[in-house]
Amino acid sequence: QNCFFCNVVAGDVGVRKVYEDQVSIAVLDSQPASLGHILLVPKQHFTVMQQIEDETLAKLFVTAKKLSHALLRTLKGEGTSIFIANGTVAGQKTPHVLVHIIPRKEGDGIGLQIPKNKADPQSLEQTRQSVAKKYAEMFGSHETGTEGKSVTEGGSDSQDDHPTHVKSSDGEVMEFSKIKRNDWGTRG
């Protein structure tokens, strides 16, 4: 396979393995943001997070939580940054989903600060309604939003108002409307 992380899973690449189970393998990043930076790699090939079955994703994040705890105890860290860069615009560098678990200390110089931009209340409410409506359409939930309205009320029906795809690091464009558990060419 051409996927580096599939080769890691197969044991074809020498890595510093920290943990392994049926779903994932955790290895130390050879170019860490900080000492102890772990890459939690799903054993099945997924290009973007939307391809991962809910049960598998839940197991990944339970493992990430436990690895974070072990890092904090071992390295006397003050915190961890845990994230997935999902798509090239989000910083994804490889065509295989990875969960980054990065030990943090005050003044470590790792730039993961999220800017605090101002948004007007009307834009926030329109965004809330649109996202809640799309979530309900896609996943069948009809929960009540923060304003006491059903999430299916309000918002726009225009297809242009809703993102429909994500671009993976290998250039493949994934359409959310076509999400079906194993229809995106997952390899494993």
Biggest alpha carbon–alpha carbon distance for the chain: 54
Q: What are the domain boundaries of the chain?
A: 4-104, 121-178
Phi, psi of 91 (to 5 degrees): 100, 10
Phi, psi of 27 (to 5 degrees): -130, 150
Taking the C-alpha atoms of residue 185 and residue 50, their distance in angstroms, rounded to an integer, is: 12
pTM of this prediction exceeds 0.85: no
CB of 174 within 8 A of CB of 90? no
What pLDDT sits at residue 131?
92
Q: Which residue has the higher pLDDT, 89 or 187?
A: 89
Q: Which residue has the higher pLDDT, 146 or 40?
A: 40
Taking the C-alpha atoms of residue 188 and residue 156, their distance in angstroms, rounded to an integer, is: 39
CATH classification code of 4-104: 3.30.428.10
What pLDDT, in 10s, does the model give residues 116-148?
Answer: 889 999 999 999 999 999 989 888 865 555 444
Among candidate residues 146, 179, 154, 138, the one with its CA nearest the CA of residue 47: 179
Q: Indicate the average pLDDT of the chain.
A: 81
Helices (H), the chain: 4-10, 54-75, 121-139
Q: Which residue has the higher pLDDT, 174 or 100?
A: 100
With residue 102 as reference, give the H or E element that holds it: strand 99-104
